[in-house]
Chains A and B, each alone.
Chain A
């Protein structure tokens, strides 16, 4: 392992902004995409239930 401390790890050899910016943007995009799909499915199922009951 090339990190001497936790701070060392987060500093990313001085490239913290670029490395964590990249990984953060990627994680955020994937999280938002999957959560939006889950929310969309719940709304769809709810509206279909209402439609069938009506």
Chain B
């Protein structure tokens, strides 16, 4: 019961703002340290790949970015749904704060994939199921952002955005399983729940550290954005006045 109360305490934008502010330096520091460790392993410990040479090192950012593009989408759709169902303002603001970061991760996944596709497949782009569904993910993010920005009333914008985000979530499993369901040029899952990893242990560690770094970055940047959204939406509240004067 106390846990429940504590969790809902942060549904108040003023308290969430304070929490986000307090967590921020730790998240940035964790992201930087994990990235340094991941890059060190990725460039200096992990060996050159027998087949792909050093071009495979793109994996250390490509896979984490692609994972985050999907995770952030699900988090965005989840918060949007909670915000809509329970009329929870803070949840809707979190959904909005996640969208631009998710779109950026999607662009990074597509761009690094392109840089990898050229040496590996001889082409920057191919209309393969994995690449096409990831491109659709980018359009979903952009569609969500365009929609919520186009509606002036924040509550109506949040509701319309939630509908798009929830319907679009069906694309995430399609991306994930696309390499199984269709015969794609893209290689299969790098990490599988059912099989032991097929890659060298040092490569795996480098990739996992980079994935953790991307997680920390995603949370840090989404909290930074949600703080701006809170200030904007609550600009007439007394606590904002106090917070601004203290800053």
Residues of A that sit less than 8 Å from B by CB? 1-3, 9, 12-15, 18-19, 21-23, 25-26, 29-30, 33-34, 37-38, 40-41, 44-45, 48-49, 51-52
Contact yes or no, B235 A48, CB < 8 A: yes
Contact yes or no, B224 A48, CB < 8 A: no
Residue from B115, B221, B240 in contact with A21 in the complex, judged by beta carbons closer than 8 Å? B115
Instruction: Number of B interface residues at 8 Å Cβ cutoff, please give it.
Output: 38
The count of A-to-B residue pairs whose CB atoms sit within 8 angstroms is 88
Contact yes or no, B115 A37, CB < 8 A: no
Q: How far is the CA of A34 from the CA of B116 in the complex (A)?
A: 26
Contact yes or no, B228 A44, CB < 8 A: yes
Contact yes or no, B115 A2, CB < 8 A: no
A-B contact pairs, 30 of them (CB 8 A): A1-B45, A3-B44, A12-B55, A12-B57, A13-B48, A13-B54, A14-B54, A15-B54, A15-B55, A18-B116, A18-B118, A18-B119, A19-B54, A22-B58, A22-B112, A22-B116, A23-B58, A25-B111, A26-B61, A26-B111, A29-B107, A30-B104, A30-B221, A33-B100, A33-B101, A41-B224, A44-B228, A44-B232, A49-B245, A52-B244
Q: How far is the CA of A26 from the CA of B106 in the complex (A)?
A: 11
Residue from A19, A25, A51 in contact with B235 in the complex, judged by beta carbons closer than 8 Å? A51
Q: How far is the CA of A12 from the CA of B55 in the complex (A)?
A: 7
List, in ascending order, chain A residues with CB within 8 A of B118's CB: 18
Residue from B108, B221, B247 in contact with A37 in the complex, judged by beta carbons closer than 8 Å? B221
Known contacts: A26-B61, A33-B101. The answer to whether A18 contacts B55 by CB under 8 A is yes
Contact yes or no, A37 B48, CB < 8 A: no
List, in ascending order, chain A residues with CB within 8 A of B241's CB: 48, 52
Contact yes or no, B53 A48, CB < 8 A: no
Encoded as 1 (CB less than 8 Å from any A CB) or 0, chain B from 12 to 50 comes to 000000000000000000000000000000011101100
Residues of B that sit less than 8 Å from A by CB? 43-45, 47-48, 53-55, 57-58, 61-62, 65, 100-101, 104, 107-108, 111-112, 115-116, 118-119, 217, 221, 224-225, 227-228, 231-232, 235, 240-241, 244-245, 247
Contact yes or no, B221 A48, CB < 8 A: no
Known contacts: A15-B54, A25-B111. The answer to whether A30 contacts B231 by CB under 8 A is no
Task: Across the interface, name the chain B residue whose C-beta is closest to A20.
Answer: B115
Q: How far is the CA of A5 from the CA of B153 in the complex (A)?
A: 59
Contact yes or no, B54 A22, CB < 8 A: no
Known contacts: A26-B65, A33-B100, A37-B221. The answer to whether A45 contacts B231 by CB under 8 A is yes
Q: How far is the CA of A32 from the CA of B9 in the complex (A)?
A: 33
Task: Across the interface, name the chain B residue whose C-beta is closest to A47.
Answer: B235
Contact yes or no, A37 B54, CB < 8 A: no
List, in ascending order, chain A residues with CB within 8 A of B224's CB: 34, 37-38, 41
